[in-house]
Chain A
Amino acid sequence: MNEEIAFWMLSAIAVLGALVAVRKRNLIHGVFALMVFFAGLAGLFLLLLAEFIAAAQILVYIGAVGILLLFAIMLTERVAGDDGRRMTSRGWFWGLVAAVAVFVVLLLPPIQQFPSPEHARAIEPSVKELGEKLMHPYVVTLEVLALLLTAALIGAVTAAQGVRMPKEEDSPE
């Protein structure tokens, strides 16, 4: 019972957050709605007893990705962030149709297996185990991931910094 109330509330939060995020014209409002979505999802993770993932979700998505998005918006838009006419939707109808089609396709596996086969097992969540798993079988993955992150960060900095080329208007004509 408790779990059901929590599930419906959290899924409502997540869906609403996601909808507002993709449809809101004001980008800053959109980002904050996106964070509501992330928070709702973190709640769902907690509900599924994946507490470390929930913490990581908050830490990475809200704490880092959200703020990165805010920075990008502040850098690219005019300070107020209202995008007005320029950002109107394109192909609203066909987009919706495509999305619904995909939704139907995604629904196929659950519908085929109706009624639901399994029920959740009782598990004892442990961050320690997760850590040990990361260290023992998945250590190479972890290292590769670390390398990827480093490379991505360096790439991001380089891309954002831009190549300093001599501007044409600088040369005396």
Chain B
Amino acid sequence: MSPDLVRDILIATVPLMVIFPTLFAFTTWLERKALARIQNRIGPNKVGVPLTRYGGRFSLFGLGQPLADGIKMLFKENIVPRDADRLFHLLAPILALIPAMLVLCFLPIEFPWTESLLPVQAFLLDGAVIFFFAITGLNTLAIFMAGWASRNKYSLLGGMRAIAQMVSYEIPLVLSAVVVVMMVGSLNAAEIANAQAGWNWFVFTPWGLAAFVIFFIASLAETNRSPFDLPEAESEIIAGYFTEYSGFKFALFFLGEYIAMFAISGLAVTLFLGGGAGPGIATLPWLSAMWFIAKIFALIAVMIWLRGTLPRLRVDQLMGFAWKFLLPLSILNILVAGFAHFIPQENIVSKVAVWVVSLGILYMAAKGLNQLNRPNVRPRDYKYAE
């Protein structure tokens, strides 16, 4: 291996492995803080500068909390159940983290130091998007591994739920991404992002908007976020697949989950929200990476908001929602996108017409599917006895 290649690979990958775990720490703080405020609590506000005696004095809005949590996690006892499969119990959290970290390479984030090393950038791979989906799917195995190796019935239920859920939701996820791939004519992540330069984001098209909504919903399910957090449904199956995990292994799961959130939000940004496009990147190219991460955080904020609002679905409803609602809609969306593509959209009238007709078709279809799936579910009237 030539030293240059090694250097380039290190420059390309090490920053990702530093930046995203750091952002993970910040996100845990953000999530705790935001959820607390949604629930009218204060949230972490004590730990300021950890490892110093000024910890409480300069609390910095509790920003030291993630570091303190990390230290706590590191020093906690590693408990493995007596009957557990020790090898798989150890491998599962590692395997949960690896694919999540791996797919970060496929996000076309243009850090200022990456310009010189274009040949080793994975997002320039011709099939970057399909690799993304392929590798994200590995997460499922890690979760099943954890659930099975723990020898705990709740873990096993969680693991089985995770498999069923993630396999099902991968399909609408991919099908909604197909629309974009179809329009750009490439699976190359960088090309997809470049096609949306300026304000030509795909989310500003009718089919793009619908695909984005479907993609976002499916990505919630892929990353086990509320309201699709059934594999770790605390009120039903304790903590699901990581019931038997403690200490650093648990932290690895946690890290993997958040990195997966970043990755899938990053893909949503690439596909629908214009990648690194944003005001000011013509003059300051490094702003592009900032915009990219800002957009990721916007999506994560919505995820946190949803988590603070919604209860979770039941397992059969979850599968029904994927197969009977999202899947037909995303297939219909491909057709709609095809038609919208061939209708000339020169003047404002035809543009508006395409918008209205496309969204109208999709909305009516959604309505109809909803009617088919849940025919009798509606608020009821009640009587009063005097």
Contacts and interface: CB of A to CB of B under 8 A. Distances in A.
Given A2-B1, A28-B148, A74-B160, A63 B170 contact: yes
25 contacts: A2-B5, A5-B1, A32-B141, A51-B125, A51-B131, A52-B126, A52-B127, A55-B127, A55-B131, A58-B138, A59-B133, A62-B138, A63-B134, A63-B167, A63-B170, A64-B167, A67-B140, A67-B141, A67-B144, A70-B163, A79-B156, A80-B151, A81-B148, A127-B127, A128-B185
The A contact surface, by secondary structure, is helix
A81 B151 CA distance: 11
Interface string B118-151: 0000000111001101110110110011001001
A125 interface: yes
Contacts of A63: 134, 137-138, 140, 167, 170
Nearest to A28: B148
B321 interface: no
Nearest to A129: B126
Contacts of A55: 127, 130-131, 134
B88 interface: yes
B130 A52 contact: yes
A71 B163 contact: yes
Contact of A58 (B125, B135, B186): B135
Interface string A54-95: 011011001110110011001000011100000000000000
B133 A127 contact: no
Nearest to A126: B126
B101 interface: no
A32 B186 CA distance: 33
The B contact surface, by secondary structure, is helix
B260 interface: no
Counting chain A CB atoms within 10 Å of each CB, which of B88, B144, B156 scores highest? B144
Contact of B137 (A5, A58, A71): A58
B63 to A, nearest CB: 38
A44 interface: no
A87 B145 CA distance: 22
Contacts of A70: 144, 163
Interface string B150-170: 010000100010010001001
Contacts of B141: 32, 35, 62, 66-67
B287 interface: no
A32 B145 contact: yes
B187 interface: yes
A81 B148 CA distance: 9
Given A52-B127, A59-B133, A63-B137, A32 B88 contact: yes
B139 to A, nearest CB: 10
A62 B163 contact: no
Contacts of B156: 79
A53 to B, nearest CB: 10
Contacts, number: 66
Interface in B1-25: 1, 5
Contacts of A28: 88, 148
Contacts of A58: 131, 134-135, 137-138
Contact of A127 (B1, B5, B126, B145): B126
A1 interface: yes
A70 B144 CA distance: 9
Contacts of A2: 1, 5
A105 to B, nearest CB: 35
Contact of A51 (B126, B140, B163): B126
A81 B147 CA distance: 13
Given A59-B133, A128-B126, 4 more contacts: A32-B141, A56-B134, A81-B148, A128-B186
A67 B309 CA distance: 32
A59 B99 CA distance: 13
Contacts of B127: 51-52, 55, 127
Q: Please name the 6 residue pairs, one residue from A and one from B, whose CB atoms are nearest each other, closest first.
A: A63-B137, A58-B134, A59-B134, A55-B130, A127-B126, A55-B134
Nearest to B137: A63
A29 B85 CA distance: 10
Interface string B275-294: 00000000000000000000
A82 to B, nearest CB: 10
Contacts of B126: 51-52, 125-128
Contacts of A126: 126
B151 to A, nearest CB: 7
Contacts of A79: 156
B84 to A, nearest CB: 11
Counting chain A CB atoms within 10 Å of each CB, which of B125, B127, B135, B144 scores highest? B127
B297 to A, nearest CB: 29
